Amino acid sequence: MHFNIDDLQLIHFADPRMTTPPPEFDFEKDGEKAEELVDVLHEKMVQLGGVGLSANQVGLPYKVFVFGDKEQKYSMFNPVLVGASKEQSTYSEGCLSFPDLMLVLKRPAEIMVKFQDVKGEEQTMTAKGVAARVILHEYDHMLGINFTNHASNFKLKLELEKINKRRKKLLKRLKANNGR
């Protein structure tokens, strides 16, 4: 099986593939696909303007995610959170699966994750700050949950109302411009 970036499309956040933890990546069976999978996920993440992308966000049944930027590419296969600091940091967070939605969330300031690299070798990483936040965000996708689960219903409703107001304002402006 080969992966094609044009075939990868974000799936709806309520799709069962997003709300069910994906199966572990099997290096014995699919190990030769690992590098190609990481490359195409990273390329799609950059194309979409994100800093992280999990395989299940584009409908692929693998417990793997990528993160980084155009120049730097990191991946984690079969990640397991093994530690998190009691210290929390608060930061605005978005998700490619929820366009326009930004939520200010508290997450651990530092984490430790065990995972397999692209060759199937077990690794451990400690991350702080934004890196920790991105890893936790993508790790949530591996559990079948998304960042809205970390927000109160009140905060979520407030942000959704803001988005609707911006959309209505934009539609009004577009209608006014078409009348000219």
Q: What residues are labeled active site?
A: 138
* Inter-residue contact 142 to 79 (CB < 8 Å): yes
* Inter-residue contact 1 to 18 (CB < 8 Å): no
Residue type, 88: Q
Ramachandran quadrant class, 49 (left: phi over 0; alpha: psi -120 to 50; beta: rest): left
Token pair listed for 73:
């590419």
Residue type, 130: V
Token pair listed for 59:
């409908």
Distances 91 to 58, 75, 109, 163 between C-alpha atoms, Å: 25, 23, 10, 19
H runs (alpha helix) in the chain: 16-19, 27-30, 34-48, 129-142, 153-178
DSSP three-state, residue 176? helix
